[in-house]
C-alpha cells in the first residue's frame, strides 16, 4: 500500500487539444459506461510545441514533456503542485591535470524519448531518458549513431547516467506496469521486440512480442495498458486491431490474444485511444465499432467531440498527495526486500 494515497478509486484522465483555441484541456471522468465528467483541472502550463507530450501518469502524478524547450515537469493536478525537473545536458565534466573542465562532444541529437514510473522498492518516482545522436569521429566528417541513457530520481532530485546502449529504433509510447517501463523497438532482422526497464535495479532487459506481431513491420503496433497489465494493439488493414495482453505469474512474458476490433472503414478519425483500469475500451470519433469475440472485457465507450480536437490521450488516474512538499515527502520506506539496502548503496555509488 502507498502511504501517500488518499483514494483507491481509479478514474480516467482525458487530455485533448482544442484546435480553434490552441488550448490543452485535462478533465477527469468516471471509469464507467456513462463517462461522467468529475472535474476539469486548471492546466497552468503553456507549451512551445502546441501541446505537451504526456510521458505517463502514476499515483496521481503526471509527467509532461515539451519537446521544443526540452522541459520536463512532474504535475499533481489534484493538489495543484508541480516540480520542474532539472535539465540534463550532453556534456560531462572530466578531470585533466587536476582541473575540472567541460567538453561538449561534437554531436547532433536525432531524437529523444522518455519513460516514467513508480519505484515501489524505494518509494520513488523516476524518469528514464534516452537520447539518440550522431557523434563525429575524431576530426573526420564521418559519424556514428550513439545513444545516451539517464535516470532522474525525484527522491534524490538528480540525474544518473546508465551504462546501456539503447536500440536505435524505438516505437510507440512507453508504458509503466508493475515497476517496469516498457517500450517497443525494432530489431536487426526487421521484427519487433520490447525493451523493459526495471525502475528499482535500473537494469534493461528484452521481451519478445507475439509470433503474429514481431515480424510484421507494415502494420501499426502500439503498447498500451489493459486492466493493469501490459497490452499490445496490432493494427491490420488500417481499421482492424488485434489486442494482446501479457500473462502474469507462471504465464509472465507470454502473450494471450484477447479479442479483435473492427472500426467503421467509412469513418474518418475513428480511433482507439486506450483502455481504462476497469477494461473499458475508449474510442474517439463517429462510426461503428465491432468487437469479436463479444466479451465483457471489451465493452466500448465512445466519445464524439463537439468541436475540432486532437492530441487525445487517456490515463488511469487516482488522487494522491505526491509533491505536497515539493517531493520531499518521499522517505525510504521499510524495506520488504533483503537486498534493498545493498541495492540502494550500489545505485548511489554510480
Q: Report the pLDDT value the prediction gives residue 140, as an integer from 0 to 100.
A: 59
pLDDT tens figures, 74-119? 999 999 999 999 987 654 433 344 444 444 445 667 788 899 999 9
pLDDT, mean over the chain: 78
Q: Is the pLDDT of residue 334 over 50?
A: no
Mean predicted confidence (pLDDT) in 154-171:
81
Q: Are 59 and 323 in contact (CB under 8 A)?
A: no
pLDDT class of 188 with cuts at 50, 70, 90: low
Give the mean model confidence (pLDDT) for residues 208-217.
73
Task: Please report where in the chains the cell 522518455 appears, as a residue.
Answer: 114
Confidence of residue 2 (pLDDT cuts 50, 70, 90): very low
pLDDT for the residue numbered 91: 44
Do residues 58 and 117 touch, judged by C-beta distance below 8 A? yes
Q: Give the integer Cα–Cα distance in Å for 57 and 117.
A: 8
Q: Among the listed ranges 8-12, 47-51, 141-145, which one has the minimum average pLDDT value?
A: 141-145
Structure confidence at residue 339 (pLDDT): 46
If one compares 326 and 259, the residue with the highest pLDDT of the two is: 259
**Domain 11-89+104-334 is of which CATH architecture?**
6 Propeller (2.120)
| Contact by Cβ (8 Å): 279, 227 | yes
174-194 average pLDDT score? 84
**Which has the higher per-residue pLDDT, 321 or 264?**
321
Between 102 and 144, residue with greater pLDDT: 144
Give dist(CA 64, CA 133) in Å, integer: 22
Q: Tell me the per-residue pLDDT of 174-183, one tens digit each, with 9 for 90 and over.
A: 999 999 999 9
Helix/strand number for the chain, H first, E second: 1, 26
| 3-class secondary structure, 120 | coil
Radius of gyration of the chain (CA): 21
Residues 6+ apart with CB under 8 A from 86: 152, 157, 158, 159
Mean pLDDT computed over 145-174: 83
Amino acid at each position: 500500500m502507498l502511504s501517500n494515497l488518499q483514494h483507491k478509486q481509479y478514474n480516467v484522465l482525458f487530455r485533448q487539444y482544442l484546435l480553434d483555441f490552441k488550448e490543452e484541456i485535462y478533465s477527469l471522468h468516471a471509469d464507467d459506461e456513462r463517462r461522467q465528467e468529475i472535474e476539469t483541472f486548471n492546466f497552468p502550463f503553456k507549451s512551445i510545441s502546441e501541446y505537451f507530450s504526456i510521458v505517463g501518469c502514476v499515483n496521481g502524478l503526471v509527467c509532461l514533456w515539451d519537446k521544443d524547450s526540452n522541459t520536463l515537469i512532474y504535475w499533481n493536478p489534484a493538489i495543484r503542485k508541480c516540480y520542474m525537473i532539472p535539465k540534463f545536458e550532453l556534456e560531462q565534466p572530466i578531470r585533466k591535470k587536476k582541473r575540472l573542465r567541460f567538453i561538449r562532444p561534437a554531436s547532433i541529437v536525432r531524437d529523444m524519448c522518455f519513460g516514467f514510473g513508480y519505484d515501489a522498492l524505494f518509494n520513488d518516482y523516476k524518469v528514464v531518458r534516452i537520447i539518440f545522436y550522431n557523434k563525429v569521429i575524431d576530426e573526420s566528417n564521418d559519424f556514428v549513431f550513439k545513444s545516451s541513457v539517464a535516470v532522474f530520481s525525484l527522491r534524490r532530485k538528480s540525474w544518473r547516467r546508465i551504462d546501456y546502449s539503447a536500440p536505435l529504433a524505438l516505437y510507440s509510447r512507453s508504458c509503466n506496469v508493475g515497476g517496469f517501463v516498457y517500450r517497443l523497438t525494432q530489431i536487426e532482422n526487421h521484427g519487433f521486440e520490447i525493451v523493459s526497464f526495471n525502475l528499482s535495479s535500473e537494469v534493461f532487459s528484452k521481451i519478445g512480442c507475439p509470433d503474429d506481431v514481431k515480424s510484421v513491420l507494415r502494420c501499426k503496433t502500439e503498447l498500451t495498458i489493459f486492466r493493469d497489465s501490459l497490452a499490445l494493439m496490432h493494427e491490420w488493414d488500417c481499421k482492424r486491431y488485434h489486442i494482446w495482453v501479457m500473462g502474469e505469474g507462471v504465464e509472465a512474458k507470454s502473450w494471450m490474444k484477447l479479442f479483435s476490433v473492427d472500426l467503421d472503414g467509412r469513418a474518418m478519425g475513428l480511433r482507439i485511444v486506450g483502455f481504462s483500469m476497469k477494461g473499458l475500451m475508449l474510442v474517439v470519433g463517429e462510426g461503428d465499432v465491432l468487437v469479436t469475440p463479444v466479451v465483457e472485457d471489451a465493452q466500448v465507450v465512445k466519445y464524439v467531440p463537439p468541436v475540432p480536437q486532437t492530441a487525445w490521450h487517456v490515463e488511469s488516474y487516482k488522487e494522491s498527495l505526491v509533491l505536497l512538499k515539493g517531493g520531499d515527502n518521499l522517505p525510504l520506506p521499510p524495506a520488504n526486500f533483503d537486498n534493498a539496502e545493498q541495492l540502494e548503496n550500489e545505485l548511489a555509488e554510480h
